[in-house]
Copies of this chain bind each other. A is one copy, B any other.
C-alpha cells in the first residue's frame, strides 16, 4: 500500500485522488494540501484523507507520506518536484515538469546524485490503448522503420488567459512527448508555422498553428494544432513506416444511418478522451513505484518536451527551423 500525499486539490487533483482512493487498490492518499487551504480541507473530508498540510513543503516532509502527486498550478511544479526528490520520495508530477529547461536540469541533477529515478511526468497518452498498440507494432519491426508522423490536435475551447505560446507548452506538449516516445528518438529541429487564422478564433491568440519537427534520425513530424473552435475534441496520429502506416482510431461510437447520411458522434470534452489512460497511468505508477522505480515518462522526458516547446515558441515568426539544443542524456535515463 503506497501512502501518497497530493499537492493541489483543483479539478485534476481531485480526479487523481478519486482514482488513487477508489480505483487503485494498492494506493492510499494520506495527506493533501492546496494553495487555497479550504479546498484541501474539503477534499480531505470528502475522501477521508487523514492529514491536511498548510504547504507543499510540509506535506513533502511529512513522515507518513511515501510518495507525492503534484497537481498544483503549472508554475509551482518544478520547486515541489525538486523538494520531493531531495526528500528521497517518489514524485508523480502533472505536465509540465517545469517551465524552463534549467529547472528540469536541476531536477535531473538531483536524481542523478541520488542514483535513481524518482520522478514520473503525467504524459498519460503513453497509457492510451491506441498509442500503446501503435508503439507495439512499431517496435515489432513488422512495418520497418518509422519515417514520419502526421498528427492533429483539435480542441473546442481554452480557459481564460490562454496565450499563443500555451498552444505549444500546454496543448501540443502531448504530441511533443508522444512522438518522441513512438519513434524512440530525440528532436533536432523545430519550427512553428503561421497559418491562415480561423475567423472563429477571436480571442487574441494564434489558432490554428502548424508544428514541424525533425528528429536526430531524420524522421519528420507535422502537427496541426487547433487549440480552440474546432468541430470537436479530436486527436489524430498517423505513423508512416517503411512498409505501412498506423492510425490512432477514433473512440468507439454507435453508427447511425438516417436522412441519407451515415454518421458517428465525435467527442467534445478532452476529459472523456483519455479517461482510461489516466486510470492506467496512475495504477502503473503506484505498482512500479512499489516494485522500486517508476517506468513511465521520466524527468528526462519532461525536459525533452520542455526544450522542444521552447525551440518551437522561439521559432515563431522566424520562418526557419531552430535547433533543439539538449544536454547530453545522463546514464540514469538510458
Residues of A whose CB lies within 8 Å of any CB of B are 21-25, 129-130, 133-134, 137, 142-145, 147-148, 150, 152, 193-200, 208, 210, 212, 214-215, 217-220, 222, 224, 229, 231-232, 234, 240, 242-268, 319-321
Contact = CB atoms under 8 A, between A and B. Distances in A.
Contact of A252 (B130, B195, B245): B130
A246 B252 contact: no
A196 B250 contact: no
Contacts of A260: 231-232, 265-268
A30 to B, nearest CB: 17
20 contacts: A130-B252, A133-B253, A137-B254, A145-B198, A147-B195, A147-B197, A195-B219, A208-B240, A224-B240, A231-B259, A231-B260, A231-B261, A244-B258, A246-B256, A246-B257, A248-B254, A249-B253, A260-B265, A260-B266, A320-B320
Contacts of A218: 194-197
Nearest to A319: B321
Contacts of A143: 256, 258
A267 B265 CA distance: 21
Given A196-B145, A224-B148, A320-B320, A265 B254 contact: no
A242 B320 contact: no
B208 A195 contact: no
Given A252-B251, A255-B249, A321-B319, A144 B264 contact: no
A255 B266 CA distance: 13
A304 B172 CA distance: 34
Contacts of A130: 252, 254
A243 B258 contact: yes
Contact of A257 (B142, B249, B266): B266
A21 B25 CA distance: 8
